[in-house]
Amino acid sequence: MIDTNAIEAANEAAMKDLRADYDALGEHLDRRGISIDAIKAKVAGYGVAVPSWGVGTGGTRFARFPGAGEPRHIFDKLDDCGVIHRLTGATPSVSLHIPWDNAAPGDLLAKGEEVGLTFDAMNSNTFQDQNDQAKSYKFGSLSHTDAATRAQAVDHNLACIELGQKIGSKALTIWVGDGSNFPGQSNFTRQFERYLDSARSIYSGLPDDWRLFTEHKMYEPAFYSTIVQDWGTNYLIAKELGDRAFCLVDLGHHAPNVNIEMIVARLIQFGKLGGFHFNDSKYGDDDLDTGSIDPYRLFLVFNELVDATDVAGFDPAHMLDQSHNVTDPIESLMSSAMEVQRAYAQALLVDRVALVGYQDSNDALMASATLKRAFRTDVEPILAMARLDKGAAIDPVVAYRQSGYRAKVATLRPAVTGSGGGIV
Ligand SMILES: [Mn+2]
């Protein structure tokens, strides 16, 4: 899969500096009453799922420019996801999108074992038509005006659960592209009632040990309304469906400047935070690399998560959801996994006793400074040492480039040409 010698050679070259940096940071944190090894252990135990669709090149509404050696099918995708985990030690699972990734369960399990990956949440696709399907989703799926179309979309979600059960998944994320393009096109109330009825049918087929995730998204290009437009609607769905239904927060699915960390806090408080689709955005659902635009916001989200560590039963699912157009998707996903880990490590450094004191005494400046102090700490030596301990790469991008993996798979996988916009 990837040349282990390349990883070892790259690590050998960087090891001395890393040890010096780790010791220096350890001394610094020690003065703050923090054990660097304890932080490292938590970081080492952290994992974020990789989306199978993320290892291919995405696209915009205008065009898709395929990269070299793009995966041709789910088994190529699993190879690429395996490389990401091998180098970062941070992405132990992969999230499948059906029907794109349809394959025999035994073959999926065998490949997963070969590349050292398990299967995270299953993702359904009723936002595009497949060649063999009877009813079109042009005017919606789970909320469609036609009962037979809704039934087809429900059946697809149930089929995703069925496959997921055979490969060890424990969650279904419902993806919908339903909405309206014009005022008056849809009756908001009747449309949402149809969606809820369909979602109830899916929920009734959910195994007892599974969770169901729904994702809010304020717009699609050219949409006047989306069916699950904001976290309030998302919360209503989770509340209507039952205890195993939760809200997924995709960081890119909000208007600019929305206080996402506060949404996270609210959902935690009322037991409905299901998990995340991590990415970053400047203007909308840009699907940019996590932490590339606003790393402080990512840190503030993790600050809420670390703050909720002791909440009973709190176990949100963490997944990346990005689209890569101008970078090598493997490099982007590795960088993003490390950015998520970085935000987690920084949030672990927050002096929570001091913070509570400043909050209770209304010392706004010092409360803010307490967060900033954690955020400003360069935790890279902790992340890198956690990787080295696992036999992963001190610098995954450097090791990846030195391994020649992309050039190697480019000779095996013919370029995929044509096709329109590929953004998801
Ligand atoms: Mn998403």
Q: What are the chain's domains?
A: 47-340 (3.20.20.150)
Kindly give the distance from the C-alpha atom of residue 287 to the centroid of ligand 1, in angstroms, as a whole number: 9
How many A from CA of 98 to the centre of ligand 1?
15
Cα four-point dihedral sign 186, 137, 170, 329:
negative
CA 275 / ligand 1 centre spacing (Å): 11
pLDDT band at 220 (very low <50, low <70, confident <90, very high): confident
Compute, in angstroms, the gap from residue 252 CA to the centroid of ligand 1.
Answer: 8
The whole-number pLDDT of residue 127 equals 94
User: How far from the centroid of its chain's Cα atoms is residue 423's Cα?
Assistant: 15
282-335 residue pLDDT tens: 998 999 999 999 999 999 999 999 999 999 889 999 999 999 999 999 999 999
- For position 62, what pLDDT does the model report? 87
**pLDDT tens figures, 126-161:** 999 999 899 999 999 999 999 999 999 999 999 999
User: What's the CA-to-centroid distance between 201 and ligand 1, angstroms?
Assistant: 22
Q: How far is the CA of 250 from the centre of ligand 1 (A)?
A: 5
Q: How far is the CA of 91 from the centre of ligand 1 (A)?
A: 17
Whether the pLDDT of residue 90 is over 80: the answer is: yes
Compute the distance from residue 277 Cα to the ligand 1 centre, in Å.
5
Query: How many whole angstroms separate alpha carbon 33 and alpha carbon 53?
Result: 42
Residue 335 in tokens: 């960088």
Average pLDDT in the chain: 95
| β 118-124/171-174 pair status | parallel
The model's pLDDT over 38-87, given as tens digits with 9 standing for 90+, comes to 999 999 999 999 999 999 999 888 889 999 999 999 999 999 999 999 99
Distance from the alpha carbon of residue 31 to the mean position of ligand 1, in angstroms: 40
Per-residue pLDDT at 68: 92
- Residues ≥6 apart with Cβ < 8 Å to 136: 129, 149
Q: How far is the CA of 136 from the centre of ligand 1 (A)?
A: 23
| Distance from residue 364's CA to the centre of ligand 1 (Å) | 34
- pLDDT grade for 170, boundaries at 50, 70 and 90: very high
Q: What is the 25 CA–ligand 1 centroid distance (Å)?
A: 35
Compute the distance between CA of residue 255 and CA of residue 287 in angstroms, rounded to an integer: 14
Q: How far is the CA of 305 from the centre of ligand 1 (A)?
A: 19
| Torsion region of 268: left, alpha or beta (phi above 0 gives left; psi -120 to 50 gives alpha) | alpha
pLDDT band for position 416 (cuts 50, 70, 90): low
DSSP string spanning 208-277?
TT-EEEEE--S--TT-SEETT-SHHHHHHHHHHH-TTEEEEEETTSS-TT--HHHHHHHHHHTT-EEEEE
Ligand 1 centroid – CA 253 distance (Å)? 8
State the burial class of residue 82 (Cβ atoms within 10 Å of its Cβ: 0-12, 13-18, 19+): buried
Buried b (16+ CB within 10 A) or exposed e, 198-232: bbebbbebbeeebbbbbbbbbebeebebbbbbbbe
